């Protein structure tokens, strides 16, 4: 096992820790780890990411359900359009994306680069939402739930499409929606997010099974390590305030997004220069 592979499998623990702490962020780590450390094709990595994050989130959500920290009403309103969108996106839209998206002068932008850059742009937008909301001064754990049904459902569909394209669980989008639109307390938003992520990610993965060859031995091993990590994350979450979680989460997402954009647009091996 090379040093990069060792780092990649070690990072699988951090994926679970992230999900356990903040109910999201697992896919933000998973996709870069699979692509950059383990050298897996970005399209296949998006499918693997759905399975890894889905199974890990499902395990974590059970603990939150036992503590009655899952709002099923908000979850259902968000989940139904999201489930539909992610399955259709993985089944039909992703396979239809051409290998070469477009050219700019001497450069050719490939499907792999497009997926990673799109993923990073979504991350940057989500980080802005979280950081802006954390400056409002309200304690997210003291809010009274309030449901804006049309907006929650619409965001569910949008997150489903984005999840389908980039293989993200979508916690970095789901949590802002639940906190801002449904005004759920942060820890209940985390529990509800984990359950939504689990179902949505695994449904999206089903749409991939017929289109891709899956290395089940690798996938199950990586996922098992991530599941161990989520228990560590849930334990640590007892000692971290919600406001600090939101702020730290926002900055982490922003930094990762900027890094991925820079790497893909300037250093990616898939960036083809016709003049060379």
What is the arithmetic mean of pLDDT over 133-141?
Answer: 51
Nearby residues of 110 by Cβ (< 8 Å), 6 or more positions away: 99, 100, 101, 270, 271, 272
Is residue 148 helix, strand or coil?
coil
163 pLDDT higher than 80 = no
12 vs 272: which has the higher pLDDT = 12
Identify the band that residue 51 occupies on the pLDDT scale cut at 50, 70 and 90: very high
pLDDT in tens, 180-229: 777 788 778 888 888 888 888 888 788 777 778 889 999 999 999 999 99
d(CA 250, CA 253): 5
Cα atoms found within 13 Å of the Cα of residue 271, Cβ hemisphere only: 14
Out of 1-10, 61-70, 239-248, which region has the weakest mean confidence (pLDDT)? 239-248
pLDDT confidence of residue 140: 46
53 has a pLDDT exceeding 70? yes
pTM: 0.73
**pLDDT score for 274:** 45
Task: Give the pLDDT band of residue 238 (cuts 50, 70, 90).
Answer: confident
Give the closest residue to 179 by CA, choosing from 223, 148, 213, 214: 148
Q: Quickly state the pLDDT bin for 240 (edges 50, 70, 90).
A: confident
User: Where exactly are the structural domains of the chain?
Assistant: 3-273
Question: Between 42-66 and 186-209, two packed helices, what is the crossing angle to 10 degrees?
Answer: 140
């Amino acid at each position: 096992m090379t040093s990069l592979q060792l780092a990649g499998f070690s990072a699988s623990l951090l994926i679970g820790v992230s999900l356990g702490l903040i109910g999201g962020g697992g896919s933000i780590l998973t996709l870069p780890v699979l692509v950059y450390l383990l050298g897996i094709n970005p399209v296949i990595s998006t499918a693997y990411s759905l399975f890894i994050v889905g199974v890990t989130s499902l395990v974590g959500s059970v603990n939150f359900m036992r503590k009655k920290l899952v709002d099923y009403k908000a979850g259902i309103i968000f989940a139904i359009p999201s489930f539909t969108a992610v399955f259709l996106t993985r089944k039909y839209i992703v396979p239809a994306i051409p290998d070469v998206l477009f050219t700019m002068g001497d450069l050719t932008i490939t499907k792999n680069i497009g997926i990673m850059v799109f993923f990073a742009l979504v991350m940057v937008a989500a980080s802005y939402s979280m950081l802006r909301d954390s400056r409002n001064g309200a304690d997210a754990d003291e809010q009274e739930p309030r449901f804006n049904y049309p907006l929650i459902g619409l965001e569910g569909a949008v997150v489903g499409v984005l999840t389908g394209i980039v293989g993200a669980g979508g916690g970095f989008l789901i949590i802002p929606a639940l906190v801002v639109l449904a005004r759920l307390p942060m820890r209940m938003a985390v529990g509800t997010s984990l359950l939504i992520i689990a179902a949505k990610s695994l449904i999206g993965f089903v749409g991939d099974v017929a289109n891709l060859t899956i290395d089940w031995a690798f996938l199950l091993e990586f996922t098992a390590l991530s599941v161990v990590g989520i228990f560590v994350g849930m334990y640590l979450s007892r000692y971290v305030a919600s406001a600090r979680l939101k702020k730290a989460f926002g900055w982490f997402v922003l930094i990762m997004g900027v890094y991925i954009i820079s790497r893909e647009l300037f250093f990616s091996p898939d960036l083809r220069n016709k003049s060379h």
